[in-house]
Structure formats: C-alpha cells, structure tokens
Amino acid sequence: FFFNPYEGIAEAQESRGLGDVYKRQDLMHVRLSDESVCIGAPSPTDSYLNIPSIISAMEVTDSDAVHPGYGFLSENADFAEQVKNSGFSFIGPTAETIRMMGDKISAIEVMREAGVPTVPGSNGPLDENDARALELAREIGFPIIIKAAAGGGGRGMRVVYNETELLNSIKVSSTEAQSFFGSGIVYLEKFLENPRHVEIQVIGDGEGDAIHLGDRDCSLQRRHQKVLEEAPAPDIPDALRNEVAATCIQACKNMKYRGAGTLEFLYQDERFYFIEMNTRVQVEHPVTEMITGIDIIKEQIHIAFTGDTALIQDEIKPRGHALECRINAEDPSKNFQPSPGIISVCHQPSGFRTRVDGSIFQGYKITPYYDSMVCKLICHGRNRNEAIQRMLRSLDEFVIEGITTTIDLHKKLLTHKKFVESDFNVSWLDNEKII
Ligand code: ADP
C-alpha cells in the first residue's frame, strides 16, 4: 500500500484555506494500493517528511518494510535509524552509511581510500585560518569551487575565480550553509570548467560483496536539475570505464554497502573525478535497467529481505543504448515556470522498447506542492541512434493537454547537432537557447 497525504483531511484542508483536496480515486498510486493511510496535509513537511507520521502508518498497517523511493526522506539517516529502531526494515543502506555519504567530506575520504579518483581539493574542512585557505586555493589553482559538506540538491556551492574574492566567499558560503543545511562546514575543490556528469550504478549485499551495472551520462541539466539521461555514457574508452567501475566496487566492498547506490563523477579530458554518492535509487535508474535487463527495485527489496544478491558481475552484459526524457509540468517558453493544472487529454506512447514511468492519466490534477516532474519516457535501441529515433517517435505519440510540458523541449534537444554528436557538458543546456 502507499501512504496518502490527502484522504480524510478535506475539512482540515479547507479550514486552513488550502483549497481543493485529493480523493482516493484522484491518485494512481493510491488507486492501485490495497490500503492507504493519511499521513498528513499536502505540504511535504506535514506528510512525506513527517517521520513519526510515517512510522505510525507502518504500525497501523503492520508493515514489514518501507521503500523510501527518491526525494523526501530517501537519504535521511535519522529516518533509516528510526525505521530500524521501530522494528521495521528500511529498503536501503544502513543509517551509518547514509550519514557517512551524506557528509561530502567523509564520502570523499572513503572513496580516496578505495582508490576512486577524486577532484583535487582541500581534502577536509576549511578552518578559520585565512592564510591556510589562500595557500590551499593557490595549490589547487583557480577557479575553485567552495562546497558545503552537508550540501545537496545543487545548492551550497560557489565558484571563485581569483584570490581577492576567496576569503569573503568562504565566509558567505559558510553562513549560507549553516542556515540551509544546519552545518557551516565548507571545503574547496578545483572547479572543472567543462565537465560531463557521468555516474556509476552499484549494488551491494551489505555483507561486503558488490557489483556495478555500468554508467550513465546525465550532463543535460538545467540549474543542476537533470533533464535527459542516457546509458551507457557515450565516447568513454572501455578500459577507463571498467577501471573506474572497479574502484567503485572496491569502495562498496570496504563499507559493506547495502542496496542500490550511485557514485557521481565529473568527467573531463578522459579523467573521472568523484563528487558524491547517492545512497538511494535515482530517477534515471530505468536507463540502466533497460541496457542490463536487471530490475533494480526488485534487487533492492531482495537484498533488504535476504541480505544476499544473486547478481554476478561476469553475467552482467549491457546491451544497446537507452535514453530517458523527464517530462515536467513546466513552460519552457516562460523560463520553465511550473504549469500546474488538470490533464484534460492524455495519450501515452507504447510499443517496442518504449517505457513510461509515471502515474498521470486523463483528469489527473497536478498541484503546486511537489516537484514538477510528472512522468518519464524511456526508450531502448540497439545503438544510440536507434534509441534517439525511437524516443522521437514516442515523444510524437505522447499527448498531454491541459498543462504545458517539456515534451517539445526534448524533441528539439534530441535533434540538436550537439546532442546527436554527444558534444555537450554540464553547462551547455543552461547556456543554449533551445526553445
Ligand atoms: P549536489 O549534492 O548539490 O547535487 P554535487 O556535488 O553533486 O552537488 O554537484 C552538483 C553539480 O554541480 C554537478 O553535477 C556539476 O554540474 C556541478 N559541480 C560540482 N562540483 C563541481 C566541480 N568541482 N567543478 C565543476 N562543476 C562542479
């Protein structure tokens, strides 16, 4: 069953002036569930981020385990800990692992010890010593990036191009980090000017065994939000891919990693630089499922219940190429402002090697409470070109009326010379006027 933040709170909602509320039949995940429980009002802090409320829902339904999905509490160590202490299984890594990887400085340390390539940087937090900070920055070489140890979601980073801005920027970054993330600890890294974002999917059994499922390229981003992802990452020498993946496995073995995770890298001039690890399944995991034939969610659940994985590295043979387009309820012509509303017409594409992950339907109402991503379209092909052609055919078939979506943006992106030639980096989409 799923926890439902709506049902049963219509009156409370209306009395708080929050307007219309959802009923059971309005939400696909609730419709499909055998049972649903109200966990609070639509505002995430009242429901999906409300730990006591979720644990109570697990208790009243006599649950065995919780799958945290992505977003919300999926990388929250306190949640994982409280779930375990209440006698339930958390489908994911241990609270200790989540905590260790959630602190970017300790994550980098674990990776360095395992031989994972990292970005040249301060290798630890900055202290109050201004002279030392300047010395470090000179050693690393400008431009540098100041990052919050507890940062996330693309926030808490500041690029510095010369010495005069450095000390003030460190102070401002630390103050901001304190107010955003509750920790003012910051560190320095070399700022790479035109990297791609390449990540490696790993799965560990929690007992010291781990495998990888290859890589993905997620360089097409707007304001640090991924827009279109693909697997495998194009144009990387196989020997290099395999070498880096082997170091990722070593890191997972060292920390006895449990479940699915992703090591994120920047890739520039045929070199990988680790930036962070996500200790959950990611939005873009379907592209990896499509090329490996492995159901990552099933593996997560299997490992949580058995402490074992049946996956064997030598048997994993990625085939072909997969793309994922995130379909957002946003208006690209109005600076991507959210476009909530009711979907009046909905026709979803289908056919050979075409997959839609999502829960939209005709009559579905998109509220302003959550992320604007409403579904994902994933296509697989024998090679990258076939995957692109299949995606274009599927995007043409996709009809969503009543709201504005990013479907047209994807069509333009997929036919853009730079995309076709894989000639892009993480800042390309922010700087290119596609629509
Ligand atoms: P978050 O946890 O907030 O997502 P990340 O460390 O994953 O932060 O970085 C997010 C994005 O910021 C990266 O995908 C990349 O675009 C940019 N970035 C981060 N570190 C660097 C760096 N050292 N050089 C250049 N760009 C960077």
287-313 pLDDT, tens digit per residue, is: 999 999 999 999 999 999 999 998 999
Ligand 1 center to 377 CA (angstroms): 25
Q: What is the atom index within ligand 1 of the atom nearest the CA of 275?
A: 6
Q: Is the pLDDT of residue 1 over 60?
A: no
**In whole angstroms, what is the distance from residue 104 CA to residue 59 CA?**
34
Q: What is the pLDDT of residues 328-338, one digit of tens each?
A: 999 999 999 99
Q: Which of 157, 194, 274, 283 to mutate to test the pocket of ligand 1 (most atoms within 8 A of CB)?
A: 157
Q: What is the DSSP string of 128-176?
A: S-HHHHHHHHHHH-SSEEEEETT--TT-SEEEE-SHHHHHHHHHHHHHH
The residue whose C-alpha atom lies closest to atom 16 belonging to ligand 1 is 426
Q: Is 24 a catalytic residue?
A: no
**Location of structure tokens 């993905």:** 216
> For the purposes of burial, counting CB atoms within 10 Å of the CB of 310, is it exposed (0-12), middle (13-18) or buried (19 or more)?
exposed
359-388 pLDDT per residue, tens: 899 999 998 888 899 999 999 999 999 999
Which residue has its alpha carbon closest to ligand 1 atom 8? Answer: 154
Parallel, antiparallel, or unpaired for β 345-347 and 341-342? Answer: unpaired
The residue nearest atom 19 of ligand 1, judged by CA position, is 275
CB 374 within 8 A of CB 366: yes
What spacing in Å lies between the alpha carbon of 189 and ligand 1's midpoint?
Answer: 10
383: CA distance to ligand 1 center in Å? 29
Lowest mean pLDDT among 270-274, 368-372, 386-390, 416-420: 368-372
Name the nearest CA neighbour of 189 among 267, 120, 266: 120
**CB-based contact 79:98 (threshold 8 Å):** no
Q: Is residue 127 scored above 60 in pLDDT?
A: yes
- Contact predicate 95/80, CB 8 Å: yes
**pLDDT (tens digit, 9 = 90+) per residue, 189-215?**
999 999 999 999 999 999 999 999 999
Which of 280, 326, 355, 384 is the catalytic position?
280
Residue type, 425: N
Q: How far is the CA of 182 from the centre of ligand 1 (A)?
A: 20
Going by alpha carbons, the residue nearest to atom 23 of ligand 1 is: 191
- Count, in order, helices (H) and strands (E) of the chain: 15, 21
How large is the C-alpha radius of gyration of the chain? 22
Q: What is the pLDDT of residue 387?
A: 98
Report which of 85, 117, 105 is spatially closest to residue 147, judged by C-alpha positions. Answer: 105
Q: Give the distance (Å) from ligand 1 centre to CA of residue 275.
A: 7
Best residue among 224, 265, 274 to mutate for probing ligand 1's pocket (most ligand atoms within 8 Å of CB) is 224
Pocket of ligand 1 (CB under 6 A): 119, 145, 151-155, 157, 189-192, 195, 197, 224, 264, 266, 275-276, 426
pLDDT in tens, 14-62: 444 444 556 777 888 888 999 999 899 888 999 999 999 999 999 999 9
- What is the DSSP annotation of 164-218? HHHHHHHHHHHHHHHHHHS---EEEEEPPSS-EEEEEEEEEESSS-EEEEEEEEE
- Which ligand 1 atom is at minimum distance from the Cα of 218? 14
For atom 10 of ligand 1, which residue has the closest CA?
A: 154
